[in-house]
Structure formats: C-alpha cells, structure tokens
C-alpha cells in the first residue's frame, strides 16, 4: 500500500454521506377516521405510480412512500398505524421487501405477508379483549336465540367469590397452550378463547349484525389473543418464557396475567420466574402486582394501587401474607406497596435536538 503525501490526499474522492431515510408516512386525523385506523393496527397498502411518482395507496387514499428506492410498483407494503400525542397519525413501514411482484434478480415470486408475520408485529396488551370481558358485555353480543354459545361463554368464566388455588391452576394450565397445539396433541377444548370468538363473529355475520364498532372490537380482540400466543411461541423457541392471557370472571372484572422468565445462560445465576398481574377493578381500583420467585423458593413482591385505602390495607395485611406463603413453602424476602401507578417498563426517549450528531451502527 502506497503512502500518500498531503498533495495525494487531496485527490482522494470524498465518501458520500449516509442519509437516513424516513420510514413513516403522515396521515391527517380526518383521513385516519375515514380509514378506520386504530392505534397499533397493522395495515397493508399497495405501491402504485401516481403522477410519475411511487405512492402508497390505501383504500383510495394516496400517501408519500418511504424508502422508495427499495420498493417497486405492485409491491404490498405492511405498515403500523400510530397515534401521536399531537393528534396526528403516522403509518410506520414495517417491511421494505417485495411482498408482491417478482424479484428481478432472483426471478422468484415473494408471497404476501402471512397472518403470523402480521401478528408478530401486533403491539402487546389486551385493551379490546379486556373491554369485552367485563361482566355481561361479551354475552350481550351473542345473537338472540343462540343459548348454547352464550352458555359456553359463561362457563369459561371463573367465580371470584369461590376461587380456589387448584381451580385457578387448572384454568391457567388449560390456557397455556393454543388451540392449534391442543389439536395436534389430540385434545379438544370447547372453551378455547379463539374458537369462541370466531363462533361469535360468524353467528353475528349470519344474523346480519356484523357491522359497526362491535365488529371492529371483536376483530381487535382476536388479534390481541392470537398475537400474544404467537409472541409466546417465538419467545419459547428463543429459550424465554413470556405467556400472557386474560382471566375472565362471572362476578368481577377481568384479570390480566403474564408469566415471564428469561432463558438461563451457562455460568450465570438462574433467572427468577416473574408473574405480573393487572386489573381495573370497580371495587379495588386499578392494581398491579409483580411477583418474582427464585429457585430457592424466595418471593419478592411489589404492588401498585391507585386507591390509598387499598394500598394501606395491603400493608396492614403483610404479616398474614407472609404466614400464607410460609404454609405454601415459600419465603417472602421483600414486600413493597406503592400508592401510585406502576411505572412503564418501556423507557420514553425524547428526540435529539435539531442539529445533534447521532452515532448509528448497522
């Protein structure tokens, strides 16, 4: 390699700067209402030429196309709708591949995004499913005369007044596997959540009730349930446990529950099992509970409650809780109660100031 002097260095061509291209298309609020967008929804738009430029076309609405050099006419772009604090909407591009149309280099046809791919990009949580599981709400959507489906929905719910540990354990184990996995094992569950939701949507469509907001809420709820199961399967393949579901009650508000444990690494201490619970109870108010259980039967429990009297009552009953855990062979190492909302697990980052230097790495 030849060494260049000051004169030689000046003749070296400059390296072209790297430009970060926008992956977001902005949508005005009136247009978002016309499209029926909801926060976190996954939509598909077609890439088409409009006035000699590539554009995104979604239900006859046209938007500017992000990453246009990597997408060609006829492709189907997958985007996630997001509502900004300002009230404006964005469509964030999730994929820049050629989902429709052929690849000119390989000469192969690339299929459209699958249902599984769409579910894996669904945001977490069960907002729509929780609203449907309020006592009496889901049953009210059953068409008149379908007593069998209404009874099956009612039978799926537990009773808070007579809840026993063994019954709760049996319910959790029965819903720890998807209906598809149970069918592969030769087990048929009549109260499978997804099956009941699909039966309800089919019955409403046959009865001519498949219109309005109820249809949208039911579809969102199904996406939330299937998305959680898809994420759980993906995490399990990676060696992690992340099982989330909602427990419905006949006489109380639904309870959101999540079991999570990161995979163990050689030479490192075993990770604890974390059980998260959350409810918006009309009696207790909004309550969060986080329980960490180690392999040494040690329990670390943290509770957040919005109502001051509920938080105080939990502190008052701490000794009774310690006694109950000891009878179960567990040791309570720490019990914290906060009269506040649980902090968000995801850190909110402010955008850098204008003109700031951002260090990026591929």
316-338 pLDDT, tens digit each: 988 888 888 888 888 999 999 99
**Share of the chain residues as helix, strand and coil, in percent rounded to the nearest 5:** 30, 25, 45
Whether 25 and 91 have beta carbons less than 8 Å apart is answered as: yes
| Among the listed residues 182, 40, 202, the one whose alpha carbon sits nearest the alpha carbon of residue 124 | 40
* pLDDT at residue 209 tops 80: yes
pLDDT greater than 50 at residue 207: yes
Q: What pLDDT score does 254 carry?
A: 94
Among 103-117, 221-235, 287-301, 336-350, which stretch is predicted with the lowest mean pLDDT? 103-117
Phi-psi region of 285 (alpha: psi -120 to 50; beta: other; left: phi over 0): left
Strand partners, 256: 246, 278
Q: Which is it for strands 331-338 and 298-305: parallel, antiparallel or unpaired? A: parallel
Asked whether 301 and 332 are in contact (CB, 8 A), the reply is yes
- Tell whether the model's pLDDT for residue 108 goes beyond 50: no
Q: Is the pTM of this model over 0.75?
A: no
User: Reduced to 3 states, what is the DSSP secondary structure of residue 49?
Assistant: strand
CA–CA distances in Å: residue 82 to residues 18, 40, 60, 123, 262? 27, 6, 20, 10, 29
pLDDT at 225 over 50: yes
Contact 334, 326 (CB under 8 A): no
Mean pLDDT across the chain:
79
Across 117-123, average pLDDT: 74
Average pLDDT over residues 5-17: 48
Instruction: Give me the helices (H) in 82-211, please.
Output: 115-120, 127-132, 137-140, 147-155, 165-174, 179-184, 193-206
**Cα Rg, the chain, nearest whole Å:** 26
Three-state DSSP state, 212: helix
- Nearest 5 degrees, angle CA 15-CA 18-CA 22? 160
- Count CB neighbours of 97 within 10 A: 14
Rounded to whole angstroms, the Cα distance separating 193 from 200 reads 11
Average pLDDT over residues 45-54: 76
d(CA 94, CA 117): 10
Does residue 257 register a pLDDT over 90?
yes
347: tokens are 């850190």
- Among the residue ranges 125-134, 195-204, 211-220, the one predicted with the least confidence is 211-220
Nearest to 90 by CA among 79, 101, 100: 79
Q: State the pLDDT confidence band at 102, using cuts at 50, 70 and 90.
A: very low
Q: Does residue 232 contact residue 141 with C-beta atoms inside 8 Å?
A: no
């Amino acid at each position: 390699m030849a060494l260049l002097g000051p004169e030689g260095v000046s003749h070296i061509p400059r390296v072209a700067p790297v430009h970060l291209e926008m992956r977001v298309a902005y949508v005005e609020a009136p247009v978002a209402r016309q499209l029926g967008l909801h926060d976190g929804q996954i939509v598909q738009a077609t890439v088409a030429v409009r006035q000699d430029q590539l554009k995104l076309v979604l239900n006859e609405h046209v938007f500017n196309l992000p990453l246009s050099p990597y997408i060609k006419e006829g492709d189907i772009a997958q985007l996630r709708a997001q509502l900004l604090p300002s009230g404006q909407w964005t469509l964030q591009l999730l994929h820049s591949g050629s989902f429709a149309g052929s690849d000119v280099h390989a000469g192969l046809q690339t299929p459209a995004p699958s249902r599984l791919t769409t579910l894996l990009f669904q945001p977490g949580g069960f907002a729509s499913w929780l609203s449907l599981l309020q006592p009496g709400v889901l049953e009210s959507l059953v068409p008149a005369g379908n007593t069998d489906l209404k009874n099956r929905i009612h039978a799926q719910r537990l009773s808070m007044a007579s809840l026993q540990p063994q019954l709760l354990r049996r319910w959790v184990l029965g819903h720890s596997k998807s209906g598809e996995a149970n069918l592969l094992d030769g087990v048929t569950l009549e109260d499978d959540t997804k099956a009941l939701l699909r039966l309800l949507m089919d019955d409403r469509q046959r009865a001519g009730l498949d219109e309005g907001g109820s249809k949208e809420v039911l579809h969102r709820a199904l996406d939330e349930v299937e998305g959680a199961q898809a994420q759980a399967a993906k995490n399990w393949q990676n060696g992690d446990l992340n099982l989330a579901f909602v427990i419905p009650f006949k006489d109380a508000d639904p309870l959101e529950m999540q079991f999570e444990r990161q995979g163990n690494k050689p030479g490192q201490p075993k990770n604890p099992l974390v059980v998260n619970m959350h409810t918006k109870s009309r009696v207790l108010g909004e309550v969060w509970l986080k329980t960490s259980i180690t392999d040494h039967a040690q329990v670390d429990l943290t509770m957040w409650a919005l109502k001051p009297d509920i938080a105080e009552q939990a502190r008052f009953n701490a000794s009774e809780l310690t006694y109950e855990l000891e009878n179960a062979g567990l040791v309570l190492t720490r019990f914290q109660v906060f009269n506040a909302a649980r902090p968000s697990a995801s850190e909110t980052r402010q955008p850098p100031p204008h003109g700031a230097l951002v260090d990026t790495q591929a």
